[in-house]
Amino acid sequence: MKKLCIAALLFVGIAGFAQETNQKPAREQRERLTPEQRNEKQLQKLTSELNLDANQQTQVKQLLADRSAKAEKFREERAAKKDNNTKPTAAEREAFKNELKAEKEANDAKMKSILNADQYTKWKSIQEENKEKAKDRIREYRKDKN
């Protein structure tokens, strides 16, 4: 009887340590791509999903390059302000938000001029899916953080 109890305790102890944790590692390391590599990867994805022709590919490539250059400029400005420990005022935040909104609308208008109607509607649906995925990731991040 004593041996049976020891064996049972040993089994329970080993089984307890063998439990696999369901926690994700703190943000998996992703491959860091240069802006050109990111643009090329995104262009390839859009080409395959939207069946872009050669002319559309060159136009979209230029649009992606312009967009990433502007994003890099915004990041640099933000980093400079952060280094100076200056927080933006409410008016500055609102102006930045409006500027981003204007950039997005301009980007949408350019894409609409490049793509045909079917491609544009498919592109908009892809944008909405990506937006939902981003919201889900934020929710998961917040849930894991708490």
Report domain extents, the chain: 35-116
Both tokens assigned to 41: 């990867």
50: nearest Cα among 2, 141, 116: 116
Task: Please tell me the predicted confidence (pLDDT) of residue 74.
Answer: 85
Q: Which residues contact 92 (CB under 8 A, 6 or more apart)?
A: none
Task: Please tell me the predicted confidence (pLDDT) of residue 67.
Answer: 92
Of the chain, the end-to-end C-alpha distance in Å amounts to 46
pLDDT of 11-63, one tens digit each?
A: 666 766 655 555 555 455 667 888 889 999 999 999 999 999 999 999 999 99
pLDDT of 91-122, one tens digit each?
A: 888 998 999 999 999 999 999 999 999 999 99
Pairwise CA distance, residues 65 & 43, whole Å: 10
pTM, entire model: 0.68
**Residue for token pair 């934020």:** 138
